Amino acid sequence: MLKELERILRCPVTGGDLVLDEGASHYRVKDSEQVYPIVDGIVDFLPEQADRIGEAYDAAAGSYDSFLTNSNLLTRLYNLFVWGIADDTRYAKIIVDCIPDDFRGAILDVPVGTGVFTEEKYSRLTGAIVLAVDYSMGMLRQAKARFEARHMRNVALIRADVEKLPLVGSSMDAVISMNGIHAFPRKVAAIHQMSGALKEGGRFMGCTYVKGIRSITDAVVNRFYSRKGWFTRPFFSEEQLMMVLGEVLASVKKTRVKSIVVFEARK
Ligand SMILES: C[S@@+](CC[C@H](N)C(=O)[O-])C[C@H]1O[C@@H](n2cnc3c(N)ncnc32)[C@H](O)[C@@H]1O
């Protein structure tokens, strides 16, 4: 799999070709001294970079899944208060259901997080390659453990910044961005990068928090999540999100579950 990826991975800084070393311990940028290490099977395109967002998520990586999946009474009550949603991960299902199980081709998932909503789907996509990208090593390690437990060989884990994707442009058949846009600092640039990675006609689907729908949610997001570094201001309203998506994508369809907008579009 790592050897196969030489064809679609590129240096995120120069765009140069990458060559996997013989021991599969790093990629080297062709005609350069720059190397990107492969740490425990995770390709690290940010080897020297620590970041407030990455650290905040690394710290939360252990408890993240139970909050997202409403796995116990406490997290259900918490999510009911903050999001107005007690037991509803319908938005995640809408997204993964957009990809048929016999899908063939390359899928970019950014940010993959711990893979909690996608592992089951990806385990069925045996004809696809998934490039699972995240800024946080902690989240990627959890995703790795999860995918390995299912003996999945179709997912490559990559530490990179959504704004500097280490990919050949227009090389992906689909892009998934679940709960990421509200975390990305420069949201318009991130959407342009993700759509730039897509082939013409490729599908782009995801979901994100939008401001201005539910005042309790907005207050918690602004006072708590933003300070923690889990979400990053400024946030899109529903209209702003649709406008930015509409600038780079066609046939944008949306569903909203309280403050979460789920979208699906084509390039
Ligand atoms: C709320 S999690 C969503 C993860 C997963 N898609 C899900 O729905 O469970 C947001 C993720 O965005 C990642 N992230 C934040 N800024 C990023 C960036 N600039 N590039 C890539 N990933 C980033 C964080 O590390 C975190 O894992």
Please report whether residue 236 resides in a domain: yes
In a domain, 4, yes or no: no
Q: Cα of 114 to ligand 1 centre, how many Å?
A: 9
CA–centroid distance, residue 22 to ligand 1 (Å) = 31
Buried b (16+ CB within 10 A) or exposed e, 172-193: bbbbbbbbbbbbbeebeebbeb
Show the domain range for 252.
41-266
Say if ligand 1 is within 6 A of residue 106 CB.
no
- Say yes or no: CB of residue 109 within 6 Å of ligand 1: no
Q: Does the pLDDT at position 251 exceed 80? A: yes
- In a domain? residue 189: yes
User: What separation in Å is there between the alpha carbon of 177 and the centre of ligand 1?
Assistant: 9
Contact indicator for 115, 146 with CB cutoff of 8 Å:
yes
Is residue 140 assigned to a domain? yes
- The predicted-structure confidence for 202-215, as pLDDT tens digits, reads as follows 999 999 999 999 99
Provide the domain count of the chain: 1
Under a CB-based contact definition with an 8 Å cutoff, are residues 141 and 42 in contact?
Answer: yes
Whole-number Å distance between alpha carbons of 267 and 252? 10
Q: What is the mean pLDDT of residues 194-206?
A: 97
Average pLDDT over residues 39-44: 95
* In-domain check, residue 219: yes
Mean pLDDT across the stretch 169-192?
97
Q: Residue 25: inside a domain, yes or no?
A: no
Q: Which residues in 65-81 are b (16+ Cβ under 10 Å) and which e?
A: bebbbbeeeebbebbee
- What is the pLDDT of the chain when averaged over all its residues? 92
Q: For 58-92, write each residue's pLDDT tens digit.
A: 777 666 666 666 667 777 788 888 999 876 677 88
Q: Is 111 in the pocket of ligand 1 (CB under 6 A)?
A: yes
- Residue whose CA lies nearest to ligand 1 atom number 16: 184
Please report, for the domain that includes residue 45, its CATH number.
Answer: 3.40.50.150
Query: For position 70, what pLDDT does the model report?
Result: 62
Q: Is residue 24 part of a domain?
A: no
**Which whole number is the average pLDDT over 84-105?**
87
Give me ligand 1 centre to Cα 118, in Å. 14
Global pTM reads 0.94
Would you say residue 109 lies in a domain?
yes
Say yes or no: CB of residue 91 within 6 Å of ligand 1: no
Cβ of 264 less than 6 Å from ligand 1: no
d(CA 127, CA 106): 9
> Distance, CA 179 to ligand 1 centroid (Å)?
7
**166 close to ligand 1 (CB < 6 Angstrom):** no
